[in-house]
A and B are shown apart, each in its own frame.
Chain A
């Protein structure tokens, strides 16, 4: 299968005060299109940093990242923002919905950056909410929804603009087991039925079982790559 994400000799160093902290050291990684990859590892191992770099939220100190053949490490901040808007969806541990907007309006947010009309935006957001089973909660604000429901709204927001890649940072970290399984099942459906490539950071081995591959990071390096047959 062709690699959607190609990472070569990727390093990231943060400067915190007078200290330089090298979080990633020369990571090489290919993620195939249609893959559901779980990134695991202890705290501070560089999982979220790698995820942020793949999602174009941060830029590497050295090395290269190509997504769909495009070198995103070479893009300026404006071009990177445009790239994120059309190529990648994000799911966070704490949902990060805008509290003053309804579920429907939260899902419509990425579509504001497209040329779609207001009616088309409303329709696409409704379909996305339907796919996550929350069409009856469209007018509810985040504080009127449970954690699991909020995360499903966040997932709808992540895929509403039909990006090829979804990056998920501990998407079940704040959920009870049942809600976590619903969310993971939803991600699995998006991967299997809609062909979305998913990169998910998790501490939870049970969550990783939903992925097609699991990679382990330790001290900024990939230490193990295990292909799990499902």
Chain B
């Protein structure tokens, strides 16, 4: 600590240059904080997926329906505790741009998703109302919906049997999700599959996918094979996988977010390395006579090396912490501005930890060459300006 004033004095020797370098580090880590939140949001569903749930979908495509008759057969497979089902609806509210996930679900669907918290009275009302629907709190806020409202959705994929495309639902419940990693679920709307099955023009007795709750997650492989054997060599062969694997595959249909974010950040940090490395090299080059004076006074080679390294690490850590801090402050504002269409998680401990490690590594890398130069400098030559 007794050398801190030396490090700070060296760092702020050229205030304008240091300020610009700090700004570039800040911008890089602001971007890192926000992009990592996007990656975390995409990973959240996968990471928090129920370990005791499996998804049974068509082996050929997620949009290929499965027969309703499979329900009882799946229920007889040893190790299966409960089976629910759902169907993607894809309706929009008033305008096609008002898109959000909406599904037709089986009566016991909510029993398999305890993370979706619906007050008992609202659950009762949902069970009793054929055209009833429940929505997440985030979605309700987004459109200003309240219980008792009638919600008209345009069924662009599934028109009604009577020729119309407007499906009207009675909003009977608003659910919440306590796990912050699963907040995205609060953007969903759920309604009865029975109503969907009876009223849509295309499907009859078909479901999009089954959700299977298993008694012992360790038996998942065996159960998956047994379920898939039920429809082997039929026109509706199934693929049964853990919910985590299913969601991972679903997310990858959009793109490998982790890879995209990683690629962007690698480019940003590489540029930052060059920029900050150049600044540090220039700063040390200018201070060669001063470093020689320190050595003259008795500072060892190692002490000079550590002083320069501390300077570069402090520069990056200072800018990085400001950048990540700003990202943490901006995240709620971004969510608010998006009106609930995007729900980015706050900058979490994992992002901060990774960020701090990156700051230290970048600081070390950019400081290494100038520090070695300072360490190796010959006092006599440096004082003579050679």
Contact = CB atoms under 8 A, between A and B. Distances in A.
Interface string B276-320: 000000000000011001111111111000000000000000000
Contacts of A27: none
Contact of A110 (B289, B295, B297): B297
A84 B293 contact: no
Contacts of A105: 5, 9
Contacts of B3: 112
Contacts of A55: 296
A100 B13 contact: yes
B12 interface: yes
A78 B294 contact: no
Nearest to A116: B2
Contacts of B296: 55, 57, 84, 90, 96
A96 B294 CA distance: 10
Which of A77, A81, A96, A112 gathers most chain B CB within 10 Å?
A81
Contacts of A157: 297
A79 to B, nearest CB: 10
Interface residues of A, number: 26
A100 B9 contact: yes
Contacts of B294: 109
B383 A85 contact: no
B357 interface: no
Contacts of B13: 99-100
Contact of B298 (A86, A98, A118): A86
A57 B3 CA distance: 23
Contact of A82 (B5, B290, B298, B383): B298
A100 B12 contact: yes
Q: How large is the interface on B (under 10, 10 to 19, 20 to 34, 35 or more residues)?
A: 20 to 34
A227 B12 CA distance: 50
B255 to A, nearest CB: 49
Which of A105, A113, A118 gathers most chain B CB within 10 Å?
A113
Nearest to A110: B297
A122 B305 CA distance: 26
Given A52-B380, A112-B2, A85 B297 contact: yes
A77 B293 CA distance: 15
Given A98-B290, A105-B5, A110 B380 contact: no
A81 B380 contact: no
B379 interface: yes
A8 to B, nearest CB: 21
Contacts of A145: none
A89 to B, nearest CB: 9
Interface string A104-123: 01000110110000100000
A221 interface: no
Interface string A146-168: 00000000000100000000000
A77 B5 contact: no
A204 to B, nearest CB: 20
Contacts of B12: 100
B297 A90 contact: yes
B376 to A, nearest CB: 10
A58 B297 contact: no
A75 interface: no
A99 B12 CA distance: 12
A92 B380 contact: no
B293 A98 contact: yes
B2 A118 contact: yes
B40 to A, nearest CB: 42
Interface in A59-112: 77-78, 81-86, 90, 92, 96, 98-101, 105, 109-110, 112
Nearest to A55: B296
B290 A81 contact: no
Contacts of A118: 2
Which of B9, B298, B379 gathers most chain A CB within 10 Å?
B298
Interface of B: 2-3, 5-6, 9-10, 12-13, 289-290, 293-302, 379-380, 383
20 contacts: A57-B296, A57-B379, A57-B380, A57-B383, A81-B295, A84-B298, A85-B297, A85-B298, A85-B299, A86-B298, A90-B296, A92-B383, A96-B289, A96-B290, A110-B298, A112-B3, A113-B297, A113-B299, A118-B2, A157-B297
